[in-house]
Structures are given as structure tokens and as C-alpha cells.
């Protein structure tokens, strides 16, 4: 059989080499043994070819005959001149020499030829009469050489910053090894390279044109896999990429500029259910942007719900006020402003409210700046899209939706209790890095030392607190940037600029201010009725809640939780164990799962009351340790990345309502 090698290449010398150079090259080649796990048979075949080359080139007459026969073409042979394979240097080798010749090609850096010849052999029919005869050891050697060639081709593409091409070579090499079930250590090395390459691939694929939907979807799937391996944005599981929690957060911020508003909304809204405070906040941005761009306030309403889930632990009241304003709820928006601790932004809003009796004009102006300077630029498909609140509020469909929403707000259910808590997923409480600035540049090409050097980090700091609902999860306290940093363009998440002319306030005022300023008619005095003297009722509760009673109530809660969030969705039962605000939170959560076609399956393993602390005659705090198996199903598919079975500790606040103790608050502490 023919192989694209000549004797000069085998020895590693030029065609003009002197006899002394040939002698030295031969000795050097014999000393240069393969560094990998090739069998003695292949190593011996390699040596045989080296000695064969030396035997021909050291004799002047044989060398002259070889040069004339193998490195020239007969001028009268037109077919040979047109055949590039015929004119290229080559050797005729026996079938038994194939594995050794392939190894020589690899050592000479002819990786493409190794892959071409080796794959042709490995994919061939073992009973093909034209197939070279090889032993099982030689087949393993050929597999090894082909895999190593793929590894080198992948590294070459990596150096060229062609990350997807590099991954294709690495995946092909890994596939060769897996088909033969050979060299597990080398398979692990391939997988390590692929894991370290994954962030680069994601950025490269997502940077493709929007028309290249196939490759961009591949990048999104890789990102989801990476998030699953890590356990979310703030997760501490090892995805073998070399990125720590802080570096991964910077990576997420960097790739946002490559994602559309719809892609970010779907991705981060899904991730917020782990739960993830970072994903929830990023989902808010995407939902607000999509609601504004598509004139769909239902997205903004979902953003408001997410913010309400974050509000117990983080100062997100400015964002909440803007969302409420966009939903045509000015009174609620002003109430949210009252809870904000961001004095600089509040001063900005007051300054732009002029002489108004309230802060609505300034909030309107602030919201328009927030959308233009912070929200829209984070999405690839929005870019320089104009922000026009006047057009938004003037749209007839928007007006219809907001009027209906305003009617819904008149129902007795408190507006502040409609938010569902972050779902019960992540285990130990950990601090999340502070908001950071980021650049659009690609990650650095230092794949053996991690990926964290390609990002720009802000000097902001953050503190962490663990106050959540009845399940383990990560929570963070977000501290706003200092006044100096807040006005640097897009340098922190909560920055809000200034300097754009206020427009469109009249549209909002036309819709909602008359209702706000109109005086309600004075209701007539109630008709006096006889008040019967109440009959004393027997006391059914102990003065304080005992540990045994607390354990029974908490076990009842676990059963009702499983029924309300399970496939039956027995949501009405929540009212028998929960008080506000937890009742509205869990009811909203169950309704959301039902509408999405998702559900939880809870199996309580153990529940132990550690301490009961009375807070008054009608209020008790209970510290309990819960061990449950919780499986999350999304449209019938088990999500192992969200499911959990780790024990956790919760502080329950129980309050007495009539003759019952109801759970009013839940807070996971570990």
C-alpha cells in the first residue's frame, strides 16, 4: 500500500542533506521513542521504516536511484503529471507496516493525513480483502494515533481562536476512542479540553449572525448544559471549565450582548426558578424590554412579580416602581419609591418632578432613562431601538390591558402579596459576587490557566443574607453602586443616567391621573343594628405552642405543599395552613406551575423541631430541620438540575388565627 511519506521525511532531513547529516539524523531518530502507549509491535515497525530509509539514503548509488525514481516524474507521462497523488512523495509499505507508518506521519506533524488514512482504516470492513491485515494491538495503536492527531488539530484551531472548529476535532477524537472503548485516561483528557473550551464555544456560537439559527441554538444548548453542571449562575458545582463563581458571573454578563431579548427572557426566567437572585434580576430586564418592544405589558407584569420575590432581601424598589408605572399603577409605584434606600436616584427623581405634588413626573423621566441607558443596550436585537413611553401608553391595546389590570387591583386581595417566592432548590447559603462591569471582547486564549482574565471588574461590594421561603436556596443582598459610579455608562446594574427631554407624560396623566385626583363620594352611615352579646367559647389552644404541636403543624404543611404543587394542584388547601403573606406567595406559585404544565413531587423523609421561641401570646418562631426528596417535572420531564434531596433548616413564624396556628413566614437559614 502507498503512504504519503518519503525517506527524507522519515529521517527528518532535507533532500540536500550530506551523508554526515543523514547519519546523525538516523541516530537521533532511534533515540526519539514515542511518548504514548503504543505497543511494542508498532514501535518496532516504526524503527524498521527508519532503518529502511537510512539503508537507502546512506548509499550514494541507492540514494541516486531513489531520487530519480521516487521524486521525479517522466516528462512523457502526462497522466502522472496531472495526478497530484502520483507526483507527491510516497512510500510503498506492507500491510503490517501501516501502524508504524501512521505513527511516523503523526510525529512529523502530518495530522490531517493521519486522520484521513486512519479513519479510512477504522471505518472499513474488517473482512474487506483490500483492508491491511493488522492485529488487535495494531488496531488499538492506529486508534490511538488517530485520536492524538485529532487532539493536535483541535489545539491548533484553539490557537487560531476557532473554537467551534477546535471542538469538532476534539469531539471526533473522543468519539474514536469511545467507539473502541480504549485508553480511558486519554478520553478523560479529551473531555477536560472540551470542558475548558466550552465557554469560548458559547461566545463564538452566540456571536454568529442571527440568521444562523442552528449554530446559535447550539450555543444556547451548551450554555444550558454548563448552567446545569454548575447548579445555576451562583452554583458551586464543578463544570471543569476552570471558572469560579465570580468569573462565571462575569462570563454571563459578557455573553448577554450576544443574546436577543427573547433568548435572555427564556433563559433567565427559567434559571430564576432554581432559584437564582442573579437570574431573576436579569430576567426582569429581559421581560421589561420585551414588554416594551412588543407592546405586551403581560411581560412587565411578570417582571414585577419577580421583583416582588426579590424585594424581601434586596433593594429593588426603584425597578419595581418603574414596572408599576408601566403597568398603570401610579399609587403603587409611589409606594414602592417610598421603600427605596437609593438616595441619589430618589434625589434625581425629585429634581425632575419639578413642582409636582408627587414624584410621578420624575419617576416617568427616570423610567425612560432606565430603559434607554440600561435595559435596551443589553440586548442584541434592540441596540439603538428608540424608547417612547408616550407611544407605549397611547397604544389602544396597552390602554385596554392596563384598564383591566386596574380593575383587577380593586379586588380585596392585597396587591403586595401576589408575588410567589423563589422556588425551593439551592442548598447552602452563599455570597454572590457584586454586580460587575463587563466588556464585549472575547475570552483570553489562556485555556490552561482559566478564563477570568478577560473581564473588567467593578469596585462595588456586596453583602449576603439568607431570608427565603420554605426550601434551601441562595439569596443575596444587592448593594447599589456609589453615586460616583452610578453615572458611568452601564458600569453597574442599577445605574440610571440623565439628560433626555421628558416626553409622553401627558399620555399617562390622561389615563390615570383623573382617577387619582377625583374625590370619592362619602358613603352613607351604616344602619345601626343590635349587637348580640357573644357567648363565651371554650379555649381550644394552649397558651403557647408546644414542640409536639409545632411538629404536627409543620408535617401538615409538608403534606399540603405536596398536594398544592403536585399534579392535583389542590391549591385551596393552602388557606388551611398558611397566613398572609405566605398564602398569596404559595398560591401564586402553584398557579404559575399549573399554567406552565410543571409540578413538584415531594416526599418527606424526616422533620425535626429543634427549638420553639415564643414571640408573644399569638406568635411563635419554630426552628426545624427538614429532610425531603423534591423532584421537579417540567411538562412531564424530570429536571434533575432543579430537583434536590438535601436536608435544610428553616425558621417558621406561626401566628394564631382563631383556634388555629398558621404559618405566616418561612426563612431558610442553611
CATH code of the domain covering residue 571: 3.10.450.240
Among 486, 503, 532, the domain boundary falls at 486
The number of distinct structural domains making up the chain is 3
Residue 519 lies in a domain: no
Residue 399 lies in a domain: yes
Residue 521 lies in a domain: no
pLDDT (0 to 100) of residue 503: 30
Query: Same domain, yes or no, for 206 and 338?
Result: yes
Query: Same domain, yes or no, for 293 and 355?
Result: yes
Phi first, then psi, for residue 463 (nearest 5°) are -120, 160
Query: Same domain, yes or no, for 224 and 153?
Result: no
What residue spans of 566-657 are helical by DSSP H? 582-596
pLDDT (0 to 100) of residue 312: 74
Query: Same domain, yes or no, for 176 and 204?
Result: no
How many whole angstroms separate alpha carbon 235 and alpha carbon 149?
A: 36
662 forms beta bridges with: 655
What DSSP string describes 470-534? SS-----BPPPPPHHHHTSTTSSTT----------HHHHHHHHHHHHHSPPPPPPPPPP---PPP
What residue spans of 294-372 are helical by DSSP H? 297-310, 317-326, 330-339, 343-351, 360-370
Helices H, strands E: what count in the chain? Answer: 26, 7
Q: Which residues of 220-245 are buried (b: 16+ CB within 10 A; e: fewer)?
A: bebbeebbbbbbbbbbeeebebbbee
How many whole angstroms separate alpha carbon 552 and alpha carbon 609?
A: 10
Instruction: Give the CA dihedral 65, 70, 72, 78, nearest 10 degrees.
Output: 130
pLDDT (0 to 100) of residue 480: 35
Among 182, 214, 241, the domain boundary falls at 182
What count of other Cβ atoms lies within 10 Å of the Cβ of residue 669? 13
Residue 129 lies in a domain: yes
Give the DSSP H/E element, type plus range, for residue 146: helix 136-159
Query: Same domain, yes or no, for 327 and 459?
Result: yes
CA distances to 113, 133, 195, 485 from 126, in Å:
21, 9, 34, 69
Residue 68 lies in a domain: yes
What DSSP string describes 218-235? HHHHHHHHHHHHHTSTT-
Query: Is 176:146 a contact under the CB 8 Å cutoff?
Result: yes
pLDDT (0 to 100) of residue 128: 52
Residue 462 lies in a domain: yes
Query: Is 311:422 a contact under the CB 8 Å cutoff?
Result: no
Query: Same domain, yes or no, for 360 and 264?
Result: yes
463 forms beta bridges with: 477
Query: Same domain, yes or no, for 252 and 374?
Result: yes
Query: Same domain, yes or no, for 168 and 250?
Result: no
Give the DSSP H/E element, type plus range, for residue 380: none
pLDDT (0 to 100) of residue 409: 53
Query: Same domain, yes or no, for 139 and 166?
Result: yes
Rg (CA), the chain: 35
Among 442, 470, 486, the domain boundary falls at 486
Query: Is 426:275 a contact under the CB 8 Å cutoff?
Result: yes
Query: Same domain, yes or no, for 575 and 434?
Result: no
Residue 535 lies in a domain: no
For 577: left if phi > 0, alpha if psi spans -120 to 50, otherwise beta; the answer is alpha
All three cell numbers of 495: 445605574
pLDDT (0 to 100) of residue 448: 33
- C-alpha of 597 from chain center: 22
For the entire predicted model, the pTM comes to: 0.60
pLDDT (0 to 100) of residue 653: 93
Cell 473522543 locates to 174
Query: Same domain, yes or no, for 71 and 98?
Result: yes
Query: Same domain, yes or no, for 289 and 417?
Result: yes
Residue 493 lies in a domain: no
Phi first, then psi, for residue 598 (nearest 5°) are -115, 165
Taking CA 385 as the corner, what is the angle to CA 321 and CA 443, rounded to the nearest 5 degrees? 90
335: nearest Cα among 414, 282, 422, 281: 414
Phi first, then psi, for residue 610 (nearest 5°) are -90, -35
Segment-wise mean pLDDT, segments of 10 residues, the chain, 670 residues: 85 89 89 84 90 90 84 45 53 85 91 91 63 72 94 94 94 93 92 94 95 94 93 90 92 94 94 90 96 93 92 87 94 93 94 90 95 93 87 91 72 37 32 31 36 30 40 39 34 29 32 34 39 38 74 94 94 92 84 84 93 87 93 88 85 89 85
The residue segments making up the domain with residue 121 are 2-182
Amino acid at each position: 500500500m502507498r503512504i504519503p511519506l518519503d525517506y527524507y521525511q522519515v529521517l527528518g532531513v532535507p533532500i540536500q542533506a550530506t551523508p554526515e547529516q543523514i547519519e546523525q539524523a538516523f541516530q537521533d531518530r532511534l533515540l526519539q521513542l514515542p511518548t504514548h502507549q503504543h505497543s511494542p509491535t508498532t514501535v518496532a515497525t516504526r524503527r524498521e521504516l527508519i532503518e529502511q530509509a537510512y539503508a537507502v539514503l546512506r548509499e550514494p548509488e541507492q540514494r541516486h536511484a531513489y531520487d530519480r525514481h521516487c521524486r521525479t516524474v517522466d516528462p512523457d507521462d502526462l497522466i502522472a503529471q496531472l495526478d497530484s497523488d502520483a507526483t507527491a512523495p510516497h512510500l510503498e509499505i506492507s500491510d503490517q507496516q501501516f501502524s508504524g507508518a501512521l505513527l511516523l506521519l503523526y510525529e512529523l506533524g502530518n495530522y490531517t493525513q493521519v486522520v484521513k488514512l486512519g479513519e479510512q482504516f477504522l471505518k472499513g470492513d474488517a473482512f474487506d480483502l483490500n483492508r491491511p491485515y493488522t492485529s488487535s494491538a495494531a488496531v488499538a495503536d492506529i486508534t490511538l494515533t488517530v485520536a492524538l492527531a485529532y487532539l493536535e488539530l483541535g489545539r491548533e484551531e484553539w490557537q487560531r481562536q476557532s473554537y467551534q472548529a477546535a471542538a469538532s476535532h476534539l469531539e471526533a477524537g473522543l468519539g474514536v476512542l469511545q467507539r473502541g472503548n480504549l485508553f480511558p485516561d486519554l478520553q478523560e483528557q479529551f473531555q477536560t479540553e472540551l470542558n475548558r473550551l466550552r465557554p469560548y464555544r458559547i461566545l463564538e456560537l452566540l456571536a454568529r449572525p442571527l440568521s444562523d439559527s442552528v449554530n446559535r441554538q447550539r450555543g444556547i444548548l451548551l450554555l444550558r448544559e454548563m448552567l446545569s453542571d454548575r447548579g445555576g449562575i451562583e452554583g458551586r458545582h464543578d463544570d471543569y471549565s476552570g471558572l469560579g463563581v465570580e468569573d462565571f458571573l462575569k462570563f454571563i454578563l459578557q455573553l448577554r450582548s450576544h443574546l436577543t431579548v427573547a433568548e435572555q427572557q427564556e433563559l433567565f426566567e427559567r434559571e430564576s426558578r432554581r432559584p437564582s437572585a442573579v437570574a431573576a434580576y436579569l430576567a426582569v430586564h429581559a421581560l421589561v424590554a420585551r414588554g416594551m418592544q412588543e407592546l405586551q405589558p403581560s411581560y412587565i407584569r411578570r417582571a414585577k412579580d419577580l421583583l416582588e420575590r426579590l424585594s424581601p432581601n434586596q433593594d429593588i424598589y426603584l425597578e419595581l416602581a418603574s414596572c408599576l408605572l408601566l403597568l398603570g399603577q401610579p399609587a403603587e409605584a409611589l409606594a414602592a419609591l417610598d421603600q427605596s434606600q437609593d438616595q441619589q436616584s430618589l434625589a434625581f427623581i425629585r429634581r425632575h418632578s419639578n413642582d409636582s405634588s408627587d414624584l410621578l413626573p420624575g419617576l416617568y423621566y427616570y423610567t425612560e432613562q432606565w430603559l434607554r441607558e440600561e435595559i435596551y443596550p443589553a440586548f442584541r436585537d434592540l441596540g439603538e431601538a428608540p424608547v417612547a413611553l408616550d407611544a407605549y401608553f397611547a397604544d389602544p391595546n396597552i390602554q385596554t390591558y392596563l384598564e383591566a389590570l386596574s380593575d383587577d387591583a380593586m379586588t380585596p386581595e392585597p396587591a403586595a402579596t401576589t408575588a410567589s417566592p423563589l422556588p425551593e432548590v439551592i442548598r447552602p447559603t452563599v455570597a454572590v459576587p457584586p454586580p460587575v462591569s463587563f466588556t464585549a471582547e472575547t475570552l483570553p486564549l489562556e485555556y490552561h490557566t482559566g478564563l477570568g482574565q478577560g473581564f473588567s471588574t467593578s469596585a462595588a461590594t456586596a453583602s449576603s443574607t439568607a431570608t427565603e421561603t420554605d426550601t434551601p436556596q441562595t439569596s443575596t443582598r444587592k448593594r447599589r453602586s456609589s453615586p460616583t459610579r452610578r453615572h458611568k455608562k452601564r458600569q453597574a446594574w442599577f445605574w440610571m443616567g440623565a439628560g433626555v427631554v421628558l416626553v409622553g407624560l401627558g399620555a399617562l396623566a390622561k389615563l390615570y391621573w383623573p382617577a387619582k385626583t377625583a374625590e370619592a363620594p362619602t358613603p352613607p352611615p351604616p344602619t345601626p343594628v343590635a349587637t348580640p352579646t357573644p357567648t363565651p367559647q371554650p379555649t381550644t389552644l394552649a397558651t403557647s405552642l408546644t414542640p409536639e404541636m409545632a411538629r404536627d403543624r409543620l408535617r401538615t404543611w409538608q403534606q399540603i405543599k405536596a398536594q398544592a404543587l403536585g399534579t392535583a394542584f389542590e391549591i385551596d388547601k393552602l388557606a388551611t395552613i398558611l397566613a398572609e403573606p405566605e398564602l398569596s406567595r404559595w398560591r401564586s406559585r402553584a398557579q404559575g406551575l399549573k399554567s406552565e404544565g410543571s409540578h413538584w413531587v415531594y416526599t418527606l423523609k424526616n422533620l425535626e423541631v429543634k427549638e420553639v421561641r415564643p414571640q408573644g401570646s399569638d406568635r411563635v418562631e419554630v426552628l426545624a430541620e427538614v429532610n425531603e426528596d423534591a423532584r421537579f417535572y417540567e411538562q412531564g420531564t424530570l429536571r434533575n438540575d432543579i430537583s434536590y434531596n438535601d436536608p435544610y433548616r428553616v425558621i417558621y413564624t406561626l401566628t394564631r388565627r382563631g383556634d388555629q396556628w398558621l404559618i405566616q413566614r418561612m426563612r431558610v437559614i442553611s
